[in-house]
């Protein structure tokens, strides 16, 4: 996790000096999907903050899920899945472009978040509750748009391939998993959300499919 957090600090400093990601984003803002709700002013800084926060949340989520599952006694069953999510950062696959730049870190974060989303979805399908109370659907849609098609679709396919291989081996069965499920069906997630506020997503950028995007300034 320390290496992932180091990457977050790197992209902050690098972007402040080079402004390379800002330069790449500015001409794309008018063509972003109209469902993405940007602030009326400061659209580019908001998008950069989104990317930095999005990358940082990979470490936040993995740490939170690690602690939650350790306490529940189910970490060893979940550990291989979390390791793959981390490896998307620490040993990025060849599909990722320009390793080390903010755009590449966005792609690596997207791979990790999408895998965590697939794990959570599979857990819901099998157990009736999420593995952890995180919902990155909205953020992943925005990240998909920033990465751009068709490449974002290629990343999705890479995640689905990894998820199928991994999750076919992990059926989320066993006594401790069942105890975990029953406990959270009874008690909800208030305890976890109070201890790990990172699981409650908050962003300046929203997404809405019912209204056109307002005109924004950079």
The total number of residues shown for the chain amounts to 218
Would you state the pLDDT for residue 202?
A: 62
Q: How far apart are the first and last CA of the chain?
A: 33
Mean pLDDT by 10 residues, the chain (218 residues): 74 74 83 84 85 88 94 91 86 69 84 92 92 89 90 92 83 89 94 87 66 46
Would you state the pLDDT for residue 25?
A: 81
As a whole number of angstroms, the distance between CA 23 and CA 44 comes to: 9
Would you state the pLDDT for residue 213?
A: 46
Strand partners, 37: 206
Would you state the pLDDT for residue 210?
A: 54
Query: Could you write out the DSSP letters of every residue in the chain?
Result: -HHHHHHHHHHHHHHHHH-HHHHHHGGGGGGS-TTEE--SS-HHHHHHHHHHHHHHHHHHHHHHHHHHHHHHT-HHHHHHHHHHHHHHHHS--TTS-STTSHHHHHHHHHHHHHHHHHHHHHHHHHHSS-SSS---HHHHHHHHHHH-TTHHHHHHHHHHHHHHHHHTT----SHHHHHHHHHHHHHTTHHHHHH-GGGS---S-EE-SSSPPPP---
Predicted TM-score of the model (pTM): 0.86
Would you state the pLDDT for residue 23?
A: 82
| Crossing angle for the helix pair 2-18 and 43-72, to the nearest 10 degrees | 180
For 99, list phi and psi in degrees, rounded to 5. -55, 140
């Amino acid at each position: 996790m320390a290496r992932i957090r180091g990457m977050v600090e790197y992209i902050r400093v690098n972007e402040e000096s080079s402004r390379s990601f800002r330069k790449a984003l500015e001409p794309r803002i008018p063509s972003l999907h109209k469902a993405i709700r940007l602030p009326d002013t400061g659209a580019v800084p908001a998008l950069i903050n989104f990317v930095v926060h999005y990358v940082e949340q990979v470490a936040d989520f993995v740490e939170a899920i690690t602690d939650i599952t350790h306490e529940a006694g189910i970490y060893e069953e979940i550990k291989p899945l979390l390791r793959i999510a981390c490896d998307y950062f620490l040993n990025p696959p060849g599909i990722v472009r320009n390793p080390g730049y903010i755009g590449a870190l966005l792609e690596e974060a997207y791979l990790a978040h999408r895998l965590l989303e697939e794990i959570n979805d599979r857990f819901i399908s099998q157990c009736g509750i999420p593995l952890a109370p995180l919902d990155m659907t909205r953020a992943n849609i925005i990240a998909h748009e920033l990465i751009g098609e068709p490449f974002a679709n290629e990343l999705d396919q890479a995640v689905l391939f990894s998820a199928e291989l991994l999750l076919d081996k992990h059926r989320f069965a066993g006594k401790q998993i069942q105890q975990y499920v029953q406990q959270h069906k009874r008690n909800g997630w208030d305890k976890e959300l109070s201890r790990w506020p990172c699981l409650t997503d908050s962003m300046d950028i929203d997404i809405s499919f019912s209204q056109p995007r307002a005109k924004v300034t950079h």
